[in-house]
C-alpha cells in the first residue's frame, strides 16, 4: 500500500495535484477538506453555529449523509464554515478514523491512496510514503480563485473580498491548537507561486519517483 499525503493552504492547487497524481498512479483519492465542508454545510443548513462545539459535533456524526459532489460544498461560505468546525478537536477526532481507514484500505481494491488536506502528513498519516506541502503566496492564490469564479469579468472589490477571506482562513487554519496547518518535518515543500499545474505535477512526480 502506498500513501501520498498532500497538504497546503486554501486554493494552493493541492486538490488538482492530488487528483492528477491519483489518476497517474491509479490510486484512490480523498479530498479531506470535503469532509470538513460537509460538516460545515450541515451546520449552516440546520441553522446552527459552526463555532459551537455542540452544533459541529452533531453535524459531524451525520457526515455520511452528505453527497460529497454537492456543488454547495465548494462555495466560500461553506469553506469558511468548514474552517470553523475544523478548529474543534472533537470534530477532528470523529473524522480521523474515516480518513485513516481510507488510507489503509483504499476503495475498489486500489493499491494506494492520495489524501489532500491540512494535517495528512502530520496527524492522519504520519507514516505516509510521500509527503508534499504545497504553497503559494496569498495574492497568487486569491488571483487564481478569483479567475476561477469570475473569469475576466470580476471587479477589484470581488478580488479584495476573496483575498480577505483567504487571509482569514489561513490565519484560522494555521493558528488553531489542534492539528494546525504546517509542513511535516519530512515533507517536500513545493512553492507554486510561479508555476502552472503541469509544472507542479511534473515536479511532484519526480519527488515521488525519486
Ligand atoms: O481544502 P479545503 O479548502 O476544501 O478545506 C476546507 C477547510 O477544512 C479548511 O479551511 C480547513 C479544514 N480542513 C482541515 O482542517 N483539515 C483537513 N485535513 C482538510 C481541511
- Closest CA to ligand 1's atom 13: 33
Pocket test for ligand 1, best of 6, 17, 86 (most atoms within 8 A of CB): 86
pLDDT at 34 over 90: yes
Terminal-to-terminal C-alpha distance of the chain: 17
Angle, in degrees to the nearest 10, between helices 32-45 and 53-60:
120
Nearest-angstrom CA–CA distance, 74 and 83: 13
- pLDDT tops 90 at residue 205: yes
What is the predicted pLDDT for the residue at 132?
A: 98
Of 116, 106, 129, 113, the closest CA to residue 17 belongs to 116
- What angle do helix axes 89-104 and 53-60 make, rounded to 10 degrees? 20
Ligand 1, atom 20: nearest CA belongs to which residue?
33
CATH classification of the domain holding 94 = 3.40.50.300
Over residues 164-174, mean pLDDT: 95
Kindly list the distances between the CA atom of residue 206 and the CA atoms of 7, 78, 190, 203, in Å, as whole numbers in the listed order.
18, 34, 12, 5
Q: Which atom of ligand 1 is nearest to the CA of 11?
A: 3
Residue nearest (by alpha carbon) to ligand 1 atom 4: 33
User: Mean pLDDT across the chain, nearest whole number?
Assistant: 96
Q: What pLDDT was estimated at residue 62?
A: 95
By the 8 A CB rule, do 3 and 112 touch?
Answer: yes
Percent of the chain with pLDDT over 70: 100
Q: How confident is the model over 44-102, as pLDDT tens digits?
A: 999 999 999 999 999 999 998 899 999 999 998 999 999 999 999 999 999 999 999 99
Mean pLDDT computed over 181-186:
96
Confidence of residue 210 (pLDDT cuts 50, 70, 90): confident
Is the separation of the CB atoms in 131 and 121 below 8 Å? yes
28 three-class SS: strand
pLDDT digits over 135-154, tens only?
Answer: 999 999 999 999 988 998 99
Residue 50 Cβ contacting ligand 1 at under 6 Å: no
Domain total for the chain?
1
Which residue carries 480577505 as its cell?
A: 164
Domain extent, residue 107, equals 2-209
Strand positions, DSSP E, 8-121: 28-31, 112-117
Q: How far apart are CA 177 and CA 81, in angstroms?
A: 17
* Residue 76, pLDDT score: 86
| pLDDT at res. 148 | 87
Amino acid at each position: 500500500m502506498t500513501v501520498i499525503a498532500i497538504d497546503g493552504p486554501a486554493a494552493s492547487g493541492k486538490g488538482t495535484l492530488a487528483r492528477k497524481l491519483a489518476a497517474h498512479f491509479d490510486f484512490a483519492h480523498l479530498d479531506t477538506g470535503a469532509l470538513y465542508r460537509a460538516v460545515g454545510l450541515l451546520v449552516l443548513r440546520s441553522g446552527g453555529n459552526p463555532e459551537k462545539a455542540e452544533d459541529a459535533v452533531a453535524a459531524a456524526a451525520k457526515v455520511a449523509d452528505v453527497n460529497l459532489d454537492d456543488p454547495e460544498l465548494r462555495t466560500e461560505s461553506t469553506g469558511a464554515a468548514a474552517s470553523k468546525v475544523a478548529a474543534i478537536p472533537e470534530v477532528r477526532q470523529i473524522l480521523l478514523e474515516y480518513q485513516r481507514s481510507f488510507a489503509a484500505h483504499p476503495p475498489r481494491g486500489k493499491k494506494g491512496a492520495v489524501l489532500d488536506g491540512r494535517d495528512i502528513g502530520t496527524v492522519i498519516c504520519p507514516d505516509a510514503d510521500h509527503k508534499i506541502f504545497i504553497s503559494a503566496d496569498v495574492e497568487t492564490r486569491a488571483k487564481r480563485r478569483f479567475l476561477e469564479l469570475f473569469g475576466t469579468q470580476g471587479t477589484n472589490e470581488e478580488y479584495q473580498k476573496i483575498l480577505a477571506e483567504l487571509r482569514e482562513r489561513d490565519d484560522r487554519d494555521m493558528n488553531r491548537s489542534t492539528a494546525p496547518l504546517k509542513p511535516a518535518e519530512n515533507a517536500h515543500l513545493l512553492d507554486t507561486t510561479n508555476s502552472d499545474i503541469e509544472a507542479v505535477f511534473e515536479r511532484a512526480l519526480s519527488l515521488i519517483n525519486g
